[in-house]
Amino acid sequence: MKPIDYENLVKAYCSAWQAVKGGKCTMTIEPNGWFTRTLYNPARHQSFRTSELMQGLADLTSRLPAKYL
């Protein structure tokens, strides 16, 4: 993946998280294909590989129709 692809993945994941979960989410792109997700209230950090982040995005977006339709 190119750096712009990582940026777009992070934006998509955080947008989906906020739409489904309703909380603030930020992601940091780390070296070697790692990402760190930070959730707030209370603050929690968790690291993911690219494939895990993509699976999480798929899971979150699959919940959108149930929430909004």
- pLDDT tens sequence for the chain (69 residues): 899 999 999 999 999 999 999 889 999 999 998 999 999 888 899 999 999 999 999 999 999 998 877
- Taking the complete model, does pTM exceed 0.85, yes or no? yes
In whole angstroms, give the CA distance from residue 48 to residue 37. 8
In whole angstroms, give the CA distance from residue 51 to residue 18. 20
In whole angstroms, give the CA distance from residue 35 to residue 66. 28
Q: Where are the beta strands (DSSP E) in the chain?
A: 25-29, 34-39, 44-49
Q: Which of 35, 43, 44, 32 is nearest to 10 (CA)?
A: 35
Beta-strand relationship, 44-49 and 25-29: unpaired
